[in-house]
Structure 1
Amino acid sequence: MSATTQPAPAHLSPPLFSAGNPALWVVVAAALVLSVVMGTRQTFGLYINPFSYDRGLPVTVIAFAIALHNLVWGFAQPFAGAAADRYGATPVVAFGAVTFAAGLGLAAVAPSGLLLVIGLGLLVGIGISCTSFGVVLASVGRVATPQQRSMAMGIASAGGSLGQVLLVPLAQMVREGAGVPVSLFVLAVIALAIAPAGLILDRGRKKSPASVTHAAAEPDTSSLKEVLALAGRHRGYRLLTIGFFTCGFQLAFIGTHLPGYLMLCHMPLGLGATALALIGLFNMAGSWGCGWLGGRFRQQYVLGWLYLIRSGAIAVFLALPTTGASVMVFAAVMGLTWLGTVPLTSGLVAKVFGTRHLGTLFGVCFLSHQLGSFLGAWLGGYMFDLTGSYSLVWGATVAAGVLAALLHFAIGDKPADASPGMLAAALS
């Protein structure tokens, strides 16, 4: 790597929304895929009570199925990211879309808890790992310049929230009008429709002049084994990975159990779906805003404040009487902080380690997020069956957010030293 090579200045890079910028279409495709995938998984909380009442399944089993998809997603994400790094997004996204749809279809007709766990847990988890952040945002990161990367990832994540705004009410409407099986089959068909999007995402593998220039300034890691060893020894990467656990824990618990919690508070039946849709609506602004902030301030500091705001919002929501207005305000604040962690976290990984193995490195980090998601979704159901209340888990989401903030404020973002001496030390 030449010591005199510098990244292209921001004013020489084509505007992100210019038709001549290849990043534009990759961002659009990424937003489309994330919209369908993230929107669909946010509907799962709407099916807990119907599965319990109509099929006689314990809430713990249903919550375990939803929690398992988060866990499978997490363990499969590094492999999906590595496959996309090596072979491109096209085959990975296509495989993921088919597997995701198959899982939803199996859940639609599953007469037993075991089949529900296989469909909604195993198959859906594998499908999402191939069609979510570790694959699609890595494609965005490769084609965007360093100056535009955080913003591009934020816009892709924000566009992905459109699915939550549209698909949650759609699933609720179809479920009430035609039943649970038809509702899940409709979502399966929509999931299949994103299979060709990988063709557009792979435009990011054809480097633009700006990306060729900035690639030369990134750490020259010669193999996946070496960069994983380097990441394992990087204090900031370890703190980022540990802190990401909290994001998964908070989001999975709220996304899965908020509708049931509102029913316990004697709120109107459709308020849970409305709240989830509102979270998605405000997440569009929140993800864009976090991407914008990440391009202007140190990303770990933005993450720290995001976790503090989220924990504060939960604490205030629990302290005040539960009303329709308080639920709407809570959903709006949560939406502003919902998926803003993703472009900030992936952007920070790219800043420190470059984009060559971004899918894999973010996938490893995301595994921690999904361990938290598994615990948040499953523990909510377990504690409810055990105590009849969600209070203890709500309290845990507040405490975890404060801890995550402290961890992120301590992260260093200096680019990793990928010199032969450091790589040899990491492998020793």
Structure 2
Amino acid sequence: MSGNAGARVTGTRNRFPPQVIIAAGCLMAIMTFGPRSAIGQFQLPILGEFKFGADIFSFAMALQYLFWGLGQPFAGAIADKYGSGRVLVAGAIVYAIGLSLMTWSSTPTSFMLTQGVLLGLGISSCSFNLIIGAFGKLLPPERRSFAFGIGTAAGSFGQFLFSPLAGGMIAAYGWHTTAFIFSVLVLACIPLTIFLHKRPEPVPANATLAQRQSFGQALAEAFGHRSYVLLVAGFFTCGFQLAFVTVHFQRYVVESGLPPSIGYWAFALVGVFNIVGSMSSGWLADRMPKNWLLSCIYLSRSLVTLAFISMPVTPLSTLMFGVLTGLLWLSSVPPTSALIGVMFGTKYFSTLYGLAFLNHQVGGFIGLMLAGYLRETTGSYTIVWWLSIALGVFSAAINMPIVEKPIERREAPAAA
């Protein structure tokens, strides 16, 4: 009987080849991450129609980041317990509903509920973060780091594809129609979840200590582990920087005297060069210490930002900022997720990565709140740019002491 059970488990694990799993995950990452990364293109037409200020738009986006982060650990925990497929389907449905209802959200409260809460919860359950969790469980260890990089790069390709697409569609058909079309595209991803679902396996009689570990024990172990705490703390900076640029970069470019098209294409370059950056990061994560790779990424972001704000804002400097920022954009995700897998294994991988991502989104929430408030009160984004630089240096420093090795687990001594 044990032989049959072993065959059944193996069959479940290898139901689809790794190439098929990666391809399905990457396609879903493109179609789910693309629309939300283009939300900045909706800002000016929405403000022009609904007549509330940029502070309301920024707060709604901040809520989206916060609820994306708050939903991520719960989505990860459900995926760890019941499999990723169901969570991805539910997330896609909520995401599409939020995009559709946004077109009728003409008051600040309704806009915050749709653009903020619904989109945030939907994205938390169907974006590349859950797909990375599925990769961690479905793929063999030697393929994981690079698969994390490819999955992250696919989300970036969605950003590259949807940023100019959103700008062109909004100009041609209006932002209402564009939002409806994007919601349909998100729903079209649901069949792909078949390739990303894996039922949790029963704990065998001769289970190891890691296999017998409970959910509560896993959380206590992670937050009692110094390297995990440092890793999570450093991820705050990533969220702060990405959220600020995603939402406010377009406005910064226009207010600096450049045409909107320069902002569209610069942000599109962020997406396309992040494909190179994320895949390279995944490749490097298998060949060098992952904590050193993260430190280099955070420090390089600060240097690129410092160079950008120190020079006059021109089409060339703006496009170059898009290229260099793109190389570093989501490149922190593959080594971060790979470190979690190395330290704790894959049983609660989606949950532990979700908790790290929660802090990432808290950083995004604070970054958006500060950016919107300081722009309205000071008339510029200067303070936020400098905060972004300082946080990059901070995260580069605290990632250096992280120890890249599996946590040591020991059986409790038997009672006398």
Q: TM-score, normalised by structure 1?
A: 0.89
- Among 114, 136, 151, the alignment partner of 2:109 is 114
- Among 167, 170, 174, the alignment partner of 2:169 is 174
Distance 1:288 1:206, change over 3 A: farther
CA contact (8 A) 2:146 2:283 kept: yes
- Among 213, 219, 235, the alignment partner of 1:244 is 235
The residue number in structure 2 matching 1:140 is 135
Q: Unaligned stretches of 5+ in structure 2?
A: 1-13
**Is 1:91 aligned to residue 86 of structure 2?**
yes
The residue number in structure 2 matching 1:374 is 365
Name the stretch that deviates more: 392-401 or 23-32. Answer: 23-32
**Is 1:125 aligned to residue 116 of structure 2?**
no
- Distance in 2, matches of 1:246 and 1:309, equals 13
Q: Deviations over 1:283-330 (max 9, x none)?
A: 111100000000111111101100011110000000111111111111
Matched residue type, 1:202: H
The residue number in structure 1 matching 2:45 is 50
The residue number in structure 1 matching 2:295 is 304
Matched residue type, 1:124: L
- Among 26, 31, 34, the alignment partner of 1:31 is 26
Q: Deviations over 1:33-76 (max 9, x none)?
A: 22122211111111222222221111000011111111001111
Shift of 1:144: 2.3
**Is 1:185 aligned to residue 186 of structure 2?**
no
Shift of 1:206: 8.4
- The 3-state SS of whatever aligns with 2:330 is coil
CA contact (8 A) 2:83 2:199 kept: no
- The 3-state SS of whatever aligns with 1:420 is coil
- Distance in 1, matches of 2:209 and 2:378, equals 52
The residue number in structure 1 matching 2:8 is none
Matched residue type, 2:221: L
Name the % identity: 37
The residue number in structure 2 matching 1:385 is 376
- Distance in 2, matches of 1:361 and 1:260, equals 35
Counting only pairs closer than 5 Å after superposition, residues 151-170 of structure 1 correspond to structure 2 as 151-170=146-165
Matched residue type, 1:222: Q
CA contact (8 A) 1:74 1:368 kept: yes
- Distance in 2, matches of 1:252 and 1:350, equals 26
Q: Deviations over 1:186-239 (max 9, x none)?
A: 1111111112222111259689xxxxxxxx999445211111110010000000
Shift of 1:248: 0.2
**Is 1:398 aligned to residue 394 of structure 2?**
no
The residue number in structure 2 matching 1:225 is 216
CA contact (8 A) 1:282 1:336 kept: yes
| Aligned-residue RMSD, C-alpha | 2.0
CA contact (8 A) 2:52 2:108 kept: yes
Distance 1:221 1:368, change over 3 A: farther
- Distance in 2, matches of 1:78 and 1:303, equals 22
CA contact (8 A) 1:26 1:204 kept: no
Distance 1:205 1:407, change over 3 A: same
Matched residue type, 2:121: I
Shift of 1:160: 2.1
- Among 271, 291, 307, the alignment partner of 2:282 is 291
Distance 1:393 1:334, change over 3 A: same
The residue number in structure 2 matching 1:425 is none
- The 3-state SS of whatever aligns with 2:197 is helix
Q: TM-score, normalised by structure 2?
A: 0.92
The residue number in structure 2 matching 1:343 is 334
How many residue pairs end up in the alignment? 397
Name the stretch that deviates more: 97-106 or 154-163. Answer: 154-163
Distance 1:45 1:320, change over 3 A: same
Matched residue type, 2:143: Q
Shift of 1:21: 7.5
Matched residue type, 2:155: G
**Is 1:60 aligned to residue 51 of structure 2?**
no
